[in-house]
Chains A and B, each alone.
Chain A
Amino acid sequence: MSESLTFLGIESSCDDTAAAVVRHAPGAPAEILSSVVDGQTALHAAFGGVVPEIAARAHAERLDLCVEQALAESGLRFGDLDGIAVTAGPGLIGGVLSGVMCAKGIAAGTGLPLVGVNHLAGHALTPRLTDGLAFPYLMLLVSGGHCQFLLVRGVEEFTRLGGSIDDAPGEAFDKTAKLLGLPQPGGPVVEVEAKAGNPRRFAFPRPMLDRPGCDMSFSGLKTALLRARDALISAQGGLTRQDRADLCAGFQAAVADVLAEKTRRALALVRDETATPVLAVAGGVAANGAIRAGLQAVCAAAGARFLAPPLRLCTDNAAMIAWAGIERFRAGARDGMALSARPRWPLDKTSPALIGFGKKGAKA
């Protein structure tokens, strides 16, 4: 189990079609030989959010093209690879299915081994790809579809300490942008607007800070923003640019405060696990400057190291899937041609499910 491994990774669980080639020899830093991400932002822009059927249609006709491009950019051929890793869930099932079937086809056609990867594990193991981080560490995954604290103890060993019981923050940023007439995706534009705004003008709630633990809620915040917006519209017939900037600043400050306080609690929970605590972040929301500054301040106060992989490896990508595939493969994981695509697939199978995800069980 000490040989160099080169894996193709395939990712299609939301609105990015991605393929990447990653190589790793034990004792050396991992090398990302290529990482292709074909985004679908323009396809979904008119709808104010990702439309599952539109995403599924795009993935089915782009996956093999992305794989070809990733191989070409890496300068390798299938014969140079040691395996194929593919996101097998959780996510929008139409896209996950296409990715899994494309990967099975490639694996069957080349004879290479196939490893199914949990998308969340891809994010959670990224600090090991980028920084060679040792277990255990605390992970905050905060994106358009996910929000959870994970204690990462091993390649297959995750304990969820808490998470959002309803919307993910990235989703709340998108909805905020939509409510204020700003373009999608909402994260970057709301952040730009917020720079010109007064975060104290609107008293937005900090949901669930009064409750113990690391669970969070963001749907009430969105409703509060809608009420504040509608009050302004009924009073003056619309929003001024300053109103909009102030609303963005107030919303962003509330999200940043909640994430910072819950991170402080999560760090306290893992204090006994390690002498030198590390908080690693992943997901597009972690790129937000105000949120990141809040997390860094909490880490400094707790004596913890703050680790943020580069943005292109924080948002959805296939390098993290190839990497997680290498890690799982080294641990002995192999999947057959009957590998399932799973819309719901919690990383932590033992912690109680976050509420609000329906009777089919925990989503993630």
Chain B
Amino acid sequence: MRPDPLILAFDTSAAHCAAALLSGKRLVASRLEPMEKGQAERLMPLLEEVLAEAGAGWRDLAALAVGTGPGNFTGVRIAVAAARGLALGLGVPAIGVTRFDALALGLPEPVAVMEDARRGEVYLRDGDAPARMAVLEGLEVGAPHRVGSAAGDGALAPLYPLAEAIARVALGRLGSEQPRPAPFYLRGADAAPPSDPPPVILP
């Protein structure tokens, strides 16, 4: 009989380093370290500690799972780049999981996932509608259930901590073809074309 697949999940999309190790459906180790900065330095040592706690090594992993946001741009890229490097080095798949899928896991549907995006905005996925940015003030959602840091009173609590949820979503996708993880951006890049027009070239 095949042993249960070992999935290592991690997320640095906000002010934390989070990791969880799943053996089949069983959570064997997890960590959540709050930090404003230093995720790039901390992430890999933390993952090695999680593996060591479970008596496992990198080569034992069946897959990696990574939080793709939306969230802090730089933070999301730290985890996604590490996941893609690990996948390449280990020859195992890396599975990207959005914060929406992670928070909604196991909750009654349809559910509106509403996460604080600062500046008075929220990252919103309302039921089956495409995810988008929305202004928090006066926001109404169609789904009967709500979850997330901006979901307000009466919201459901997520069933799992973030990294564990990412691991469990990835477990459900294991064995099917997965795209390489990519950051999930809802805000565009902060860039504007030059304001001064080029000079007129006379004939």
- Please give the residue numbers on chain A whose beta carbons come within 8 Å of chain B beta carbons, in ascending order: 46-48, 51, 53-54, 56-57, 59-61, 63-64, 67-68, 78, 93-94, 97-111, 178-181, 229, 233, 236-241, 244, 336-341
Contacts and interface: CB of A to CB of B under 8 A. Distances in A.
Contact of B87 (A104, A105, A339): A105
B200 A63 contact: no
A60 B182 CA distance: 8
A48 B193 contact: yes
Q: 10 tightest A-B contacts by CB?
A: A109-B89, A105-B85, A181-B198, A238-B200, A337-B44, A105-B86, A102-B85, A101-B81, A109-B90, A53-B189
A61 B73 CA distance: 13
Nearest to B85: A105
A48 B194 contact: yes
Interface residues of B, number: 41
B88 interface: yes
Given A229-B199, A239-B202, A67 B88 contact: yes
Interface in B189-203: 189-194, 198-202
A105 B74 contact: no
Contacts of A179: 199
A61 B182 contact: yes
Nearest to A114: B44
Given A53-B73, A103-B85, A340-B40, A238 B201 contact: yes
Contacts of B88: 64, 67-68, 102, 105-106, 109
Contacts of B90: 109-110
Contacts of A109: 58, 85-91
A47 B40 contact: no
A68 to B, nearest CB: 7
A128 B88 CA distance: 30
A100 B77 contact: no
A178 B199 CA distance: 9
Given A47-B191, A53-B189, A239-B201, 14 more contacts: A47-B194, A51-B190, A57-B185, A60-B77, A64-B85, A94-B74, A99-B81, A101-B43, A104-B85, A105-B88, A106-B86, A108-B89, A181-B199, A338-B42
B4 interface: no
A64 B77 contact: no
A184 to B, nearest CB: 10
A47 B198 contact: no
A30 B191 CA distance: 41
Contacts of B183: 57, 60-61
B104 to A, nearest CB: 25
Interface string B63-75: 0000000000110
Contacts of A100: 40
